[in-house]
Amino acid sequence: MGCFQCCISKPSEKLEMDSPSQVSKRKAGLRSDTLKSIIATMSLKKTGSSRHRQITAEIEKHGKAQNEIKIFTYKELAGATNDFSENSKIGEAVKQLDRKGRQGTREFLSEVLMLSLFKHPNLVKLTGYCVEDDQRILVYEYLSNGSLENHLLGQLHISTRVMGTYGYCAPEYAATGQLTTKSDVYSFGVVLLEIITGRRVIDVTRSEDEQNLIEWAQPLFKDKSKFTLMADPLLKGNYPEKGLFQALAVAAMCLQEEAETRPVMADVVAALEHLSKPKDEE
């Protein structure tokens, strides 16, 4: 996977101002209608090029209407990134996915459709995509201030950049190439464990038995007396031990090997919200 800088201008738009209540109602209606359309689209049995065209049409219809998502040609992206030159690689902007990956066109386009609907100040915005022959390319807005990982752990060394994405993948995705909501729960568990421990998910600068964060943590999860060994050393022991244990318990549940034994994300959020409350509010 490569990330490249590109310069693609947006057409000017004339905006009509609505009241906050009108905007909220309209967005809620759009989301509801779009989700109904997604369910209908995913339930159809069409395959091959017919399926490709249908999902592409759904992305154009709903994605462009709500998030200005654009379908780029490979030629456009190659030109904007100087043919994906290493000299243009600066961070998160254009992601060229692994062409040898197991994800098919149908699954890729279905995920693009879902990504096009996400809108949150803490999520990078998908602005477009490209599917041509064996090319799978995502175009995101550029993160000028860096990623969460950059802020937590500093800039990535080149030896860990490629391996980083791999470390967040759930076991079932690595084995089958199929993604589910429980795959996302696993990935969130990895990020949570990074925050708790102050370690990278893959760190080749450590000793061999500590290079993979999950493999290092799994035996420690089984022994509560060793939980404090997983606390970020920069905290220097300045943390509530009960809170550490509870946070690690949440991470451990998210990182279960079997997908069906992991919690749903709503339960994870509830557990973390409980942890964030001051003791006098409990």
pLDDT at 145: 63
Q: How far apart are CA 37 and CA 136, in angstroms?
A: 24
User: Taking a C-beta distance cutoff of 8 angstroms, is the pair 36, 22 a contact?
Assistant: no
Could you give the strand order of the β-sheet that contains 126-132, starting from the edge strand earlier in sequence? 2-4, 94-96, 135-140, 126-132, 70-71
Question: Which tops the pLDDT comparison, 107 or 102?
Answer: 107
pLDDT cut 70: percent of the chain above it = 55
C-alpha dihedral sign at 206, 211, 213, 219? negative
SS (H, E, C) 3-27: EECCCCCCCCCCCCCCCHHHHHHHH
Contact present, 116 and 63 (Cβ < 8 Å) = yes
Confirm or reject CATH 3.10.20.30 for domain 2-7+19-145, answering yes or no: no
Amino acid letter, residue 79: G
Please provide the size of the chain in residues. Answer: 282
For residues 18 and 112, which has the higher predicted lDDT (pLDDT)?
112
Residue tagged 């100087």 (tokens): 82
Q: Which of 27-36, 64-73, 130-139, 165-174 has the highest mean predicted lDDT (pLDDT)?
A: 130-139
- Residue found under tokens 């550029």: 142
Domain map of the chain by residue range?
A: 2-7+19-145, 151-276
Model confidence at 61, pLDDT cuts 50, 70, 90, reads low
Name the pLDDT band for 1 (thresholds 50, 70, 90). very low
- Is the dihedral angle over the CA atoms 105, 108, 111, 117 positive or is it negative? negative
Tell me: the pLDDT tens digits for 240-269? 999 999 999 999 999 999 999 999 999 999
Q: State the pLDDT confidence band at 229, using cuts at 50, 70 and 90.
A: very high
The model's pTM is: 0.52
Number of neighbouring beta carbons within 10 Å of residue 104: 14
Asked if residue 139 has pLDDT above 90, the reply is: no
Least confident of 1-10, 64-73, 131-140, 187-196: 1-10
E strand residue ranges, 2-146: 2-4, 70-71, 94-96, 126-132, 135-140
2-7+19-145 and 151-276 share one CATH topology?
no
Q: Is the pLDDT of residue 22 over 50?
A: no
Any idea which of 168-172, 207-211, 252-256 has the lowest mean pLDDT? 168-172
Poorest-confidence range of 13-27, 150-164, 268-282?
A: 13-27
Degrees to nearest 5, angle at CA 199 with 196 and 200: 125
> 151-276: what fold?
Transferase(Phosphotransferase); domain 1 (1.10.510)
Categorize the per-residue pLDDT at 18 as very low, low, confident or very high, splitting at 50, 70 and 90.
Answer: very low
Task: Band the pLDDT of 239: cuts 50, 70, 90.
Answer: very high
